[in-house]
Structure 1
Amino acid sequence: MVTLNRYLLAGLITLAILGVVFGAVLLLDDWRVSGINKDLEDLSIQSESNRVLFFYNQVFDPAENPRFCELANSSATLRSNQGDLLFAKLENYEGASFFGSYRILRQKYLLNRIELWLFTTLQNKTCGSNFVPVLFFYESTVDCPECLVQGNILEELRNQCPNVKIFALSVDEEIDLVPLIQSQFNVSTVPSLVVDNQFVFESLTTKEEILRNIKCEEVIAKRIVV
């Protein structure tokens, strides 16, 4: 009887520990999902601001107020940088998640990025901005080693050329706009790139190949004078 009680006690303790661990994992997933939602809300506010700027552009001539292009460019840059950070966070959290659902979050993020791509394209036309949009079509739900390599190459390019804006578009998300954009540029494979809305690369593309087709505004390191 004593031995049986010991086994029973050990089993109860094990179940209690598993329950605590399970609860902690659920809380961590909920905290991560809440954080992503908060970041998406911040991006949505910036998106609304960009829409207002677009309507402002329809009512008033931007040439009459240089402040318009300055504000629009800084807004697009800030939104792009925050979106890049959010994408990395989303990828890391989803990869480490046990129970959290990130499908809706990915779709919200993707729609926000597509809208920003369109906004930066308008900025180039309206203000003569120097943004270089790069659409990156990839697959996220299947094994695609070349997609991972291409993503790393684009990360290097973005760090070297701040005016290059990367828009990663997952082709396996249930977003109708993605196949529409693919058909616009006759893209049918992954990984594929559309650089500056005109140069299409339907295979793994090196950084050097991309640089030959764009104007890169490289980061200039500041010299410290002692």
Structure 2
Amino acid sequence: MEKSAKPTAWIIGASSGLGASLAVRLANEGYRVAISARRAERLDELAEQHTDLTPFPLDVADPNAAQKCATDVLATFERLDLVVFCAVRSSTDQSAHLSMANGMAVGLLGATAALEPVLEHMKARKAGHIALVGSPVGFRALPGTRSYGVVKSALHYYAELMKIELAAHNIDVQLILPGFVETELTQGNTFPMPFLMSVDEATTRIWRGLGKPRRFLIAFPKRLIWPMKLLGLLPVWIYQGLWSKLAHRIKGEKKRD
């Protein structure tokens, strides 16, 4: 296949974890891939492994930089067939308002800024594919998720809205909801992570899901996704009551200790 005929992709958040793994997988499957993230040295390391990976360093928390990077990618590749947004910044500090603002800047505002030029390009072509990496926590508010949960819930809404609005332009939109994956982000977790899977396994599932662009959700594993979906169906008063009872029980146990 001639290089100019290869499908093209842009992975935002490609310096490690799922983003890096998916970028390499796409390159191995015949894509030319633009890779973006803050850590330019990581991008360079990936590019050395595969000639079809091209670094475009970006701090997606800066909307102006995100838009410029999108313009640069389009100018270099001339077209984009697929964009996967998987940038995230998280903090376990429940009182860190700065962390909340930073998380929103990266996980939502960054996504909208980066996608704005791309969407205009795809609308003009009447073709394109957008995938946003969310989280199962987007189905319902979970105590302790703070910045991460708020951002992923907002991203869930944004993806669903785009799915509806862009259908008339022949642009496919998917929301990727992976469970717990062995990455740098999860290494610092101190709570149980049921059904933890490797990056390679998660990447394979995402790749298969991207091959079915008309399907909105790429969600896995089902053993985790279905309970989260069921929690989302509970009436507010029942759901909040359950958490209230659990909080009182935990508080009582701490007092006895």
Same fold (TM over 0.5): no
Larger helix percent:
1
Larger strand percent:
2
Q: Rg: which structure is higher?
A: 1
TM-score calculated relative to the size of structure 1: 0.29
